[in-house]
Structure 1
Amino acid sequence: MTVDDPAEPLRVVIADDHPLFRDGLGRLIADTSGLTLLAEASSGEEAVDVCARLLPDVVVMDLRMPGEVDGVEATRRIVNAATAGAVLVLTMVDDDAAVFAAMRAGARGYALKGSAGADIVESIRVVAAGKAVFGASIAARMNRYFSRPGQGAGKSAAFPQLSARELEVLDLMAAGAGNAVIAANLVLSEKTVRNNVSSILTKLQLTSRAEAIARARDAGLGVNEQEG
């Protein structure tokens, strides 16, 4: 269903560290009736600052950006501060962990950079209208994720003291992933992963990574990834 153009143009911020992509998307927005390009940001930290100053209707957010504030963290800060009407993730990253990290951070939509220009424009309008939107490949991935045994509430129930992010890290640890792989999967810095591992050990009153992995596997974490 097509969302009608608003009476006033939707004010859009693009957050992406690739100049050529920002330029192309910016031209698309500028040439589209009902949309106006408000500003561009080349990092997550800059996106947070721009939104605080300009209060856009929609932020089109990439996930992998330089610095400590990646797209997921920038989304979380923007949503928590209510400095944008909605965040639409537009990225090349389409793995389960990235999709759900963005959703938990408060993104209202998730699309891939290979999407057609008309689909991107429509997604901007949909999230601005307060609805959620996901590209076909992302929707299929979500269906596969929720159809796998052991996903969802069962895992969090096993470790209620852990945050959602810590549970993701522990799940990947149990699957045999090292910090670098976990960082890539969750779109985090390795420093952030190390901090999460330390917090997991503290909260579970464990003294080593090996103990954490054993405890997690006993609770059923890591099984799906191992069987891949």
Structure 2
Amino acid sequence: MHLRRSRWTCHDACVGNPTAANGSAAHAVSGPIRVAVVDDQELFRRGLTMLLGIEPGIEVVGEAGDGVEGVELAVKTAPDVVLLDVRMPKKSGIEACVAIKESVPTTKIIMLTVSDEEADLYEAVKSGASGYLLKDSSIEEVAQGIRVVADGQSLISPSMAAKLIEEFKTMSAPERATGPALKLTERELEVLRLVAKGLSNRDVAGQLAISENTVKNHVRNILEKLQLHSRMEAVMYAVRAKLVELD
């Protein structure tokens, strides 16, 4: 098992630094965050389930050993967050991610994998994953990631962040925003630009002098209008549409 304990905090990995005022990520889920663990390595899966079971505010509602079972488990239990390995038998983690988002759209997905390949990260984001962590993360990192993603934020491990930004930079976007982007209000476009620059909801609220709840509502409306699944997808859209330039 690769999960370790570490002093590294989610502050370093979270897109937009989504930490609450007390230093820990808040979550909008009432009661404990319900989590499903899907991984074909039994020892890793069982160990992760056991360690998450003693984390405050987290309840593991089930585990599965392949992508097909993972989708069935998600449909049956409707968890708040699913931890998915990328490479699994019967149905890959990416395929399972797509199926889960279609069947249980309120469920958030974190890919927890040994793969640090840009292609897997990019496909995970496109498929609706809200987070991407490597299996050498500590249990504290995984638990904090669960809390952050349950709160509607996105995160990736620091080692993958630069790769995702580079992927954004190399996207070809010959035309300015057209189509769905035109459905956004001026305020929604402002929020999208700031989110794409990596600001948290709290920071966006401060920049625009509006409440954090108002920002959350704007983000939700943006995702609905653009038919996207996550903030990271919204960032990708903003870059492709040249709504924001990444340095």
Quick one: distance in 2 between partners of 1:84 and 1:20? 29
Distance 1:61 1:152, change over 3 A: farther
Q: Which has the higher helix share?
A: 1
Cα drift, residue 7 of structure 1: 4.3
- Alignment partner of 1:123 is 2:145: yes
Q: Which residue of 1 aligns with 2:120?
A: 98
Matched, 1:109 2:155: no
1:27: Cα distance to partner? 1.2
- The match for 2:103 is 81
| Equivalent residue pairs, number | 151
User: Root-mean-square deviation (CA), in Å?
Assistant: 1.5
The answer on 1:12 being equivalent to 2:35 is yes
State the structure with more CA Rg: 1
Equivalent residues of 1:12, 1:59 under 8 A apart = yes
Displacement over 3 Å in runs of 4+:
none
Contact 2:25 2:144 survives alignment (8 Å): yes
One-letter code of the match for 1:90? L
TM-score (norm 2): 0.58
User: How far, CA to CA, are the matches of 1:75 and 1:7 in structure 2?
Assistant: 24
Structure 2 runs not aligned, ≥5 long: 1-18, 175-247
> What is the match of residue 39 of structure 1?
62
Could you state the TM-score of these two structures normalised by the residue count of structure 1?
0.63
Conserved in 1, the CA contact under 8 Å of 2:37 and 2:63? yes
Distance 1:89 1:36 in 2: 18
For residues 140-171 of structure 1, the C-alpha deviation after alignment (integer angstroms, 9 at most, x for no partner) is 111233344xx3436xxxxxxxxxxxxxxxxx
- Deviation, structure 1 residue 96: 1.0
Percent identity reads 34
**Structure 1: which 5+ residue stretches go unaligned?**
155-228
Report the counterpart of residue 3 of structure 1 in structure 2. 25
How many Å separate the matches in 1 of 2:67 and 2:26? 30
For the residues of structure 1 that align with 2:107 and 2:25, how far apart are their CA atoms? 16
